Structure 1
Amino acid sequence: MEQETVMREEKNSLGAIRIADDVVRIIAGLAATEVSGVVSMSGGVVGGITEKLGRKNLSKGVKVEVGEKEAAVDLFIVVEYGSRIPEVAAKIQDAVKSAIEKMTGLVVVEVNVNVQGVAFANELNEEENNNRVK
């Protein structure tokens, strides 16, 4: 099943400005991964597989609902062991809301953070070693 590309359109005196939902997903995903304590994005409940965010799918673990002027975001993340999850989640909410609002002009009405897993230091080191071998 192919995903339909939905676009937000705004018209002004010079023409139309269109922002695809995928753009909002990418902005949210990048903002979330920049928060300290976030190890990776998760494919969500359906995928069940987690991996580090790569350049191929920058919107992995992000779902958005975009209206004409508002947006709602659901994020699925993996946190680093030892991080205070409520603090990490609050920082993610602030970062995602700020990034989307600054870049698109949409009003973000909610940012839901779903913690799908915890990564331990030995798993992170193992994954880094595997990435070097490739």
Structure 2
Amino acid sequence: MADKTNSFFETNAKPGESLGRIELAPEVLEVIIGIATTEVEGIAMTSGNFATGVAEKLGKVIHGKGVKTNWIDNKLIIDVYCVAEEGELIPQVAENVQKKIREAVFHMTSIEAGEVNVHVTGIRSETLSVTE
């Protein structure tokens, strides 16, 4: 498993004058991405693994579940795993997720995502829930 690395930002009061460095934990990005994903119409939820499922059953809310981030050649690569609502046009919903994630990450961190990969792992219907 790849180690998660923090993102760094330099702040400048005036050109050439640094106020210091801001460090952003990878979990912060994952939460931003998870919340943005679930705000898209047509997405039922993000899909996590067994451990996040157990934690949620115990009452813990995990906003970053189903989200993986990686830095490759100084580009942020995002993979999000989610469940779509029945009756939705999955390509359109996935594109909306990509746009929402790019917008949320940029507005909250000033980081432009290199890739946003959406993995639809299931469909949720009113009568039957089919996932993974």
For the aligned pair, the TM-score class normalised by the smaller chain equals: 0.7 to 0.9
CA distance in structure 1 between the partners assigned to 2:93 and 2:105 by the alignment: 18
User: Aligned partners of 1:57, 1:73: CA distance in 2, in Å?
Assistant: 17
Q: Deviations over 1:75-120 (max 9, x none)?
A: 1000110011001000000000111111111121111000100011
> Residue 55 of structure 1: CA displacement?
6.1
Structure 1, unaligned stretches of length 5 or more?
A: 125-134
What SS does the corresponding residue of 2:127 show, helix, strand or coil? Answer: helix
Across the aligned residues of Structure 1 and Structure 2, the Cα RMSD in angstroms comes to 2.9
Q: Is the 8 A contact 1:70 1:106 kept in 2?
A: no
1:58 aligns with 2:63: yes
The percentage of counterpart residues that share the same residue type is 33
Matches within 5 A, 1:114-133: 114-123=119-128
Task: Report how many aligned residue pairs link the two structures.
Answer: 120
Contact preservation (8 Å) 1:9, 1:68: no
User: Does structure 2 retain, via aligned residues, the 8 Å contact 1:41–1:50?
Assistant: no
The runs of at least 4 consecutive aligned structure 1 residues that moved more than 4 Å come to 49-52
Partner deviation per Cα, 1:21-46 (whole Å, 9 max, x = no partner): 111111111101000010011115xx
Are 1:28 and 2:27 counterparts?
A: no
| Unpaired segments ≥5 residues, structure 2 | 12-17
Call closer, same or farther: CA 1:92–1:34 in 2, change over 3 Å.
same
Letter in 2 for 1:7: N
The verdict on how the C-alpha distance between 1:113 and 1:87 changes in structure 2, with shifts beyond 3 A counting, is same
